[in-house]
Amino acid sequence: MKASTLSTTQALLTGPGRVELIRRRLEPVRTGQALIRVTQCGLCASEADQWLGRSGRYPVEIGHEVAGVVEEIAPGDEGGPLSVGDHVVAWVPGGGFTEFMVTETRHAIPVRPGRVFPAVAEPLSCCVNAVELAAPRLGADVVIIGTGFMALLIQRLSVLKGARSVIVAGRRPTALARCAEQGATRVVDLRTESLAAAVAADTEAGGADVTYEATGAQDALALAGQVTRTSGTIAIVGYHQGEPRTVDLAHWNERAFRIANAHFRDLPTILGGMRTAIALVDSGQLDPSDLLTHRYPLHEIPAAFRDAVRRPDGFVKAVIEPAPSARA
């Protein structure tokens, strides 16, 4: 199978709520590249915002949480980091909702065959790097605002880091119940409970050492400022798009918060986080497979977007499987 003779079906987001499947011919594989048969690609919350028309330009090649199998490497690259048949996860800037794609070999990391959901490596990398940047000490009091996929990964990483308390706040009862089952020391339903009161009670009024804002919403920023202790850390994990956000900067200054912008554009940092993510999964310290709750073939990608926005009961994360016949 040669990329120069191969066509692939790829999903393009052509406008708010509109996905088009196109056929296109792939470019030949050059030195330092590999042809990947994409077996999985996760649907990111940032792409759900693009589906809603909150950000971005159209048309746009979507999909960046890629896992697959190496089908071809460039002549002369034999003996390099990848071989035909390797199962890999890959960093790509987009275009991952496709049957086949060509990627740089230095951006692909081999994984063990048989991993049910290897595409989790890229978002788990974001969470690994967020926790490393926030740097909670052993025995820290941690607050997580949000109950989505990334929040759940951060919760599990916080437990691994030895937090004394992990308080999770959100508005979806089913999601809060999942958090309680999976290691949160307290869950707070923001519809009926005061997060500030709960944090004060569990931290002897000291406040959180680290607060992760994992919603991308204005009100979560305000809550983070209310529950973090003086000189504590607020980590911005949520993907903020649309209208500019505001914070009570006088209060944030007075409390001397350390602000950790947990969004990473430096590729070595991203790839390093992916390797750590794979190591955590391979060692058995973290099993994220139960969080990827909904799977869709490529032609059902509009349904995946609708579910990612509506979040039906039990929904945590959508995964597209363009080539499920040989799942990575």
Count of CB atoms within 10 A of residue 312's CB? Answer: 10
In CATH terms, 127-261 corresponds, of 3.40.50.970, 3.40.50.720, 3.20.20.80, 3.40.50.300, to: 3.40.50.720
Q: Which residues of 252-291 are buried (b: 16+ CB within 10 A; e: fewer)?
A: beebebeebebebeeeeebbbbbebbbebbeeeebebeeb
Contacts of residue 222, defined as CB under 8 A and 6 or more positions apart, other chains included, come to: 247, 248
Give dist(CA 233, CA 9) in Å, integer. 44
Helix axes 149-160, 121-134, angle to 10 degrees: 50
Give dist(CA 5, CA 30) in Å, integer. 14
3-class state of residue 284 by DSSP: coil
Contacts of residue 269, defined as CB under 8 A and 6 or more positions apart, other chains included, come to: 129
Q: Kindly report the backbone phi and psi dihedral angles of residue 37, in degrees, each rounded to the nearest multiple of 5, phi listed first.
A: -85, 115
Query: What per-residue confidence (pLDDT) applies to 258?
Result: 98
Give the pLDDT of the chain (328 residues) as one tens digit per residue: 565 568 999 999 999 999 999 999 999 999 999 999 999 999 999 999 899 998 778 999 999 999 999 999 998 888 789 999 999 999 999 999 999 999 999 999 999 887 777 889 999 999 999 999 999 999 999 999 999 999 999 999 999 999 999 999 999 999 999 999 989 999 999 999 999 999 999 999 899 999 999 999 999 999 999 999 999 999 999 999 888 999 999 999 999 999 999 999 999 999 999 999 999 999 999 999 899 999 999 999 999 999 999 999 899 999 999 985 443 3
Strands 108-110 and 87-91: antiparallel
Query: What per-residue confidence (pLDDT) applies to 324?
Result: 57
Query: What per-residue confidence (pLDDT) applies to 276?
Result: 96
Query: What per-residue confidence (pLDDT) applies to 76?
Result: 86
In the chain, domain spans: 3-117+292-326, 127-261
Which residues face 228 on adjacent strands?
208
Domain 3-117+292-326 homologous superfamily, CATH: Medium-chain alcohol dehydrogenases, catalytic domain (3.90.180.10)
Count of CB atoms within 10 A of residue 94's CB? Answer: 14
Count of CB atoms within 10 A of residue 118's CB? Answer: 27
